[in-house]
Amino acid sequence: MNFKEFNARVFVYVGMFGSGKTELAINTAVELKKEEKNVALLDIDVISPYFRSRDKKDPLEEMGIKVISPPGALSHADLPIITAQVGGYISNESFFTIADVGGNEDGATVLGSLKPFLDRVNKKVFFVVNTLRPFSTTFDEIVRNVKKISAVSRTKIDYLINNTNIAQETTEENVKNGEELIKKVSEYLEIPVAFTVVNEEMDFQGEFPILKLKRYLAEQW
Amino acid sequence: MKMLFKGSEAIAEAAIRAGCRLYFGYPITPQSELTEYMSRRLPEVGGTFLQAESEVATVNMMYGASCTGKRVMTSTSSPGFSLMMEGISYMAGGELPAVFVNVVRGGPGLGDIQPAQSDYFQATKGGGHGDYRMIVLAPHTIQEAVDLMNLAFDLADKYRMLVTILADGMLGQMMEPVEFPPMRDPNDVPEKDWALTGAKGRPPRKVTSFHIDPYELEKMNLRYQATYKKVEENEVRYEELNTDGADIIVAAYGTMARIVKTVIHMAEKEGIKVGLFRPITLWPFPYKRLNELADTVDTILTVEMSYGQMLEDVRLGVNGKAKTPFYGRSAGVVPTPTEVLDAVKKAIGR
């Protein structure tokens, strides 16, 4: 996937809880870093206590990606901390910046608070959908989720992403069913589908461009 | 059809499928997703979600709701479970069935929000006051947690006992593909001839843990003990993997057992045959089978995300017949497979 095609400097990932935003944000950062000097990943997830971008801060920073998260021991705190640097990396024109936003409307509220920064930059907002997650399995549920998150994050959604999966056990049929459902949502809401996400080893051709996902967060066991 | 669920969400859905329509709880990391899931999902199926003002209030709501004979549950994490202990003891004395889920985090005290197994003693040896027992089930995958929920409610009803699902934060937070059993009709549960349902056309009933006459209270206690004995005889559950002809057997439960499953493959490459003994019921603990296994190996290594709690039960089971070393990390630190492999090698002098 060539992320340059989206003609954005700031990539924002929103969606429901557990839809796959963090893995996508990390993949985007790693991909952009291949060509760009300055890439920053903003962990502004105030919802998840485990499996966050900040948990992979060391390996990502070794790749030269700047990871912005609460400092030191505070990164493990059960507190909704957004550091002041976040606004700076959104505004800094010399950086490609990826924002990993927390799930559900509670997570997206953070984005609403960053509106003064986000409105002034070239950004694209991606709404991630996994149709095999609870509360995201039907047309009505997904439409309602997109509208709700768009409202509290005070931003329009530029793209939908089909991230339909059940981790390593995902079948092509799963992905295809996800495409069909998300296509209907896309047509109804008039929001284009940016791409479909598949596991690295899967050879799938569907209606939309393909992103082969490398998983960074799962434990080695 | 399989779906992708977080452990906490999956336990909630599985409880609903098992016929639970009453949930009382107070959010606490790392299991707030369970509470949140119930708040969304229970109204959809005609159930009641009630956020209590504290865990103390929660457990007393559980007491009252369970008296009606309905399937009730709550979920919490370590400090919250401590707060529930008084009510748990009262419920045990009242012989009330209910399901508790404790998604354990680092302790003692406020501890941290990372995964641990350090509430083993609290779950299996009391926690509250008095001579009571709880059935304690320890899943090691999200699918197993789902599968155990039906069992948890059935055992609770069958024996009029409390059942605790003891999971750790990792199981609460990780995501895996799961398949759910079909929805059970919440009214299709065995008649409870003790439940408080209004006493119309029948003599009133009483649920209590109290008797002022010590001989009467003793009778109640002997009844509890007789139930516990039946459970010990009939409900022991465990998994064995690779134990036949093993160089060493590792005893582990929950997330720790998952890690040992990885260690089995790593050790195989180094020519060491590692067996896994995984208790699924932590109470009643599988002492008898462990004692048999102790005849087949020199060493049974216990590994925990705590500092030697299950170890005491392993030693009771082994009863001196094999060496029983220990390896554990806790406080929210999860041992890596390499660390466990090193402990295995050390235990057998390799």
Give per-residue pLDDT as tens, A145-155: 999 999 999 99
Q: What is the pLDDT of residues A100-115, one digit of tens each?
A: 999 999 999 999 999 9
What is the average pLDDT across B146-164? Answer: 98
pLDDT at A23 over 80: yes
Say what the pLDDT of residue B126 is.
85
| Contact across the interface for B170 and A17, Cβ inside 8 Å | no
| Contact across the interface for B173 and A51, Cβ inside 8 Å | yes
Q: Is A130 on the interface with B (CB under 8 A)?
A: yes
CA angle A3, A4, A10 (to 5 degrees): 80
| Contact across the interface for A18 and B169, Cβ inside 8 Å | no
Say what the pLDDT of residue A74 is.
85
Is the peptide bond between B30 and the residue preceding it cis, with omega within 30 degrees of 0?
yes
| Contact across the interface for A76 and B114, Cβ inside 8 Å | yes
Dump the DSSP string for A12-54.
EEEESTTSSHHHHHHHHHHHHHTT-S-EEEEEE--S-SSS-GG
Q: Is A140 on the interface with B (CB under 8 A)?
A: no
Instruction: Report chain B's mean pLDDT, rounded to a whole number.
Output: 97
Q: Which residue has the higher pLDDT, B187 or B263?
A: B263
Q: What is the pLDDT of residues B272-307, one digit of tens each?
A: 999 999 999 999 999 999 999 999 999 999 999 999
% of chain A beyond a pLDDT of 90: 86
Q: What is the pLDDT of residues B73-120, one digit of tens each?
A: 999 999 999 999 999 999 999 999 999 999 999 999 999 999 999 999
Closest Cα partner for A131 from A141, A116, A144, A118? Answer: A141
Grade residue A15 by pLDDT with cuts at 50, 70 and 90.
very high
Whole-angstrom Cα distance, residue B2 to residue A165?
10
Grade residue B189 by pLDDT with cuts at 50, 70 and 90.
confident
| Contact across the interface for A130 and B4, Cβ inside 8 Å | yes
Q: Is A166 on the interface with B (CB under 8 A)?
A: yes
pLDDT at A221 over 90: no
Closest Cα partner for B48 from B67, B61, B32? Answer: B61
| Contact across the interface for B6 and A18, Cβ inside 8 Å | yes
Q: Return the CATH number of the domain spanning residue range B239-347.
A: 3.40.50.920
Nearest Cβ partner of A166 from B2, B112, B258?
A: B2
| Contact across the interface for B6 and A76, Cβ inside 8 Å | no
Whole-angstrom Cα distance, residue A213 to residue B207?
56
Grade residue A166 by pLDDT with cuts at 50, 70 and 90.
very high
Nearest Cβ partner of A135 from B29, B40, B113?
A: B40
| Contact across the interface for A167 and B175, Cβ inside 8 Å | yes
**Helix (H) / strand (E) containing B280:** none
Whole-angstrom Cα distance, residue B163 to residue B97?
8
Disruptive mutation site among A23, A46, A48, A50 for chain B (greatest number of B CBs within 10 Å): A50
Number of neighbouring beta carbons within 10 Å of residue B204: 7
Disruptive mutation site among B1, B4, B38, B44 for chain A (greatest number of A CBs within 10 Å): B4
- The residue of chain A with its CA nearest to that of B169 is A50
B9 chain-A contacts, CB cut-off 8 A: 18, 134
For residues B62 and B113, the answer to whether their CB atoms sit within 8 Å is no
Say what the pLDDT of residue B181 is.
97
B6 chain-A contacts, CB cut-off 8 A: 17-18
Grade residue A45 by pLDDT with cuts at 50, 70 and 90.
very high
Instruction: Report chain A's mean pLDDT, rounded to a whole number.
Output: 94
pLDDT at A78 over 90: no
Q: Is B168 on the interface with A (CB under 8 A)?
A: no
Say what the pLDDT of residue A1 is.
84
Whole-angstrom Cα distance, residue B207 to residue B41?
30
pLDDT at A199 over 90: yes
Say what the pLDDT of residue A220 is.
75
What is the average pLDDT across B325-345? Answer: 97
Say what the pLDDT of residue B313 is.
98
| Contact across the interface for B4 and A51, Cβ inside 8 Å | no
Token pair for A150: 């768009």
| Contact across the interface for A50 and B13, Cβ inside 8 Å | no
Number of neighbouring beta carbons within 10 Å of residue B183: 12
Q: Is B335 on the interface with A (CB under 8 A)?
A: no
Shortest CA gap A6–chain B (Å): 29
Say what the pLDDT of residue B106 is.
97
Grade residue B161 by pLDDT with cuts at 50, 70 and 90.
very high
What pTM value is reported for the model? 0.95
| Contact across the interface for B3 and A166, Cβ inside 8 Å | yes
Return the CATH superfamily for domain A8-213.
P-loop containing nucleotide triphosphate hydrolases (3.40.50.300)
**Helix (H) / strand (E) containing B316:** helix B310-318
Closest Cα partner for A20 from A133, A98, A109? Answer: A133
Say yes or no: do domains B3-199+221-234 and B239-347 share a fold. yes
For residues B305 and B115, the answer to whether their CB atoms sit within 8 Å is yes
pLDDT at A3 over 80: yes
| Contact across the interface for A49 and B259, Cβ inside 8 Å | no
Provide the Cα torsion B163, B166, B169, B171; round to 10°.
-90
Shortest CA gap B308–chain A (Å): 22
Say what the pLDDT of residue A72 is.
83
Torsion region of B144: left, alpha or beta (phi above 0 gives left; psi -120 to 50 gives alpha): alpha
pLDDT at A218 over 90: no
State residue A141 phi and psi, 5-degree precision: -60, -45
| Contact across the interface for A18 and B40, Cβ inside 8 Å | no
Q: Which residue has the higher pLDDT, A55 or B65?
A: B65
For residues A162 and A178, the answer to whether their CB atoms sit within 8 Å is yes
| Contact across the interface for B37 and A76, Cβ inside 8 Å | no
A167 chain-B contacts, CB cut-off 8 A: 4, 175-177
Grade residue A47 by pLDDT with cuts at 50, 70 and 90.
confident
What is the average pLDDT across B16-42? Answer: 97
- For chain A, the domains span 8-213
B331 chain-A contacts, CB cut-off 8 A: none
Whole-angstrom Cα distance, residue B290 to residue B268?
23
Grade residue B190 by pLDDT with cuts at 50, 70 and 90.
confident
Number of neighbouring beta carbons within 10 Å of residue A22: 27
Return the CATH superfamily for domain B3-199+221-234.
Thiamin diphosphate (ThDP)-binding fold, Pyr/PP domains (3.40.50.970)
